[in-house]
Amino acid sequence: MTEHSPPSRILILATGGTIAGQMNARSASGYDAGNVSVQDLLHHVPNLPETADIHAEQIASIGSQNMNDALWFALARRIMQAFEQEDFDAAVIIHGTDTLEETAFFLQHVIKSQKPVILTGAMRPGGAPGADGPVNISHALKVAASPKARERGVMVVFNETIYDARTVSKINTSEVNAFKSVNGGPAGYVDTDRVYFVTPAAPPVPLFSLPEHESLPCVDIIYAHSNMDDRLICHALADGVKGIVLAGIGDGNASDTALAALDRAVAQGVHVIRASRVGSGLVKRNIEVSDDIRGFNVSCDLSPHKARILLQLLIASKTTSASAIRQAFEGGYL
């Protein structure tokens, strides 16, 4: 099959975001996210694959700051139904950019299929000069329809670049080149003509069943800084959190006071993952902090917000032995 073969059946699921935003009078660049319907968005997309069988559904109309467990579960269930029962070959999710990488990471761990699921969005709303939404949707559809994308699972397509769900991060608040694979490079590129993959498919990740309840266990991220005390950790413990992810300084460190509070967390049965606020690089075991002695785990290459999701899924699936948690976070590096 060539790239010009009849395209696949593609399900588009729209959730809102800047890409579906409308300019308002708040300021010259002010807008409200999530106001434009997916049908209206598709009218402005150039180069829709002519023979593609595209079916579009509006799942939500929100800014992605309001993305939540219930919508994650709805997206995962709809995609699995489309793949298993309706013969769809690929899905494209239109999503706000702010939490797009979290949704991608979650779906990568719960969708039991390697068919392509492509997330995209935009940094500029429709109507803004140089709006990037239409071309990003066009490129996402092109990747979704490409035979080269089969068996590559969940990816992000943005600004002519294809990213793996594990490594992609939003790294800029306003530029159209807002995403990067921080601990690696892009998976590939896409333009009007072609899809180019420059890496092999990402290795398989641990898969989890969706928990029966429509929410994931409570895991807090605590951000470290100079002069850090233990108040936020104490509050989290008093609130009954099941896990704490430290967005630590440097390689996942924090003040002696904060680490002592995390020791108390472990003593209470709360899982502690050390991650880093730095934004790139690995957090490794037993470098500056005695993880083996203190009972902490490390995030390795995962950002604090992705480490949080992985810990939530582990706790929800009762996969919480020390070795299972370590394997889930460090498995690729052991």
What is the binding site for ligand SIN (CB under 6 A)?
Answer: 17-18, 33, 63-64, 96-98, 121, 123
CB of 10 to ligand SIN, least distance (A): 21
What secondary structure does DSSP assign to 246-270, as a single string?
Answer: EEEBTTTB--HHHHHHHHHHHHTT-
Cβ atoms of residues 300 and 330 within 8 Å: yes
CB of 19 to ligand SIN, least distance (A): 6
CB of 121 to ligand SIN, least distance (A): 5
Nearer to ligand SIN, 52 or 176 (CB): 176
Cβ atoms of residues 97 and 178 within 8 Å: yes
Strand, helix or coil for residue 11? strand
Residue showing tokens 């969708």: 111
**Which residue(s) pair with 274 in the sheet?**
246, 298
Nearer to ligand SIN, 172 or 192 (CB): 172
CB of 67 to ligand SIN, least distance (A): 8
Sequence-ordered strand ranges (E) for 51-191: 53-62, 90-94, 117-120, 154-158, 161-164, 168-170, 179-181, 188-190
CB of 326 to ligand SIN, least distance (A): 33
Nearer to ligand SIN, 67 or 272 (CB): 67
Measured from each CB, the residue nearest to ligand SIN is 96
**Which residue(s) pair with 195 in the sheet?**
190
- Centroid of chain to Cα 43: 27
- Known catalytic membership, residue 192: no
Cβ atoms of residues 248 and 276 within 8 Å: yes
Q: Which of 18, 97, 103, 167 is catalytic?
A: 18
CB of 321 to ligand SIN, least distance (A): 36
> The tokens of 15 are what?
């959730």
Nearer to ligand SIN, 24 or 192 (CB): 24
**Which residue(s) pair with 42 in the sheet?**
none
Sheet with 117-120, strands from edge to edge, namely 53-62, 9-16, 90-94, 117-120, 154-158, 161-164, 188-190, 195-197
Strand, helix or coil for residue 15? strand
**Residues designated as active site:** 18
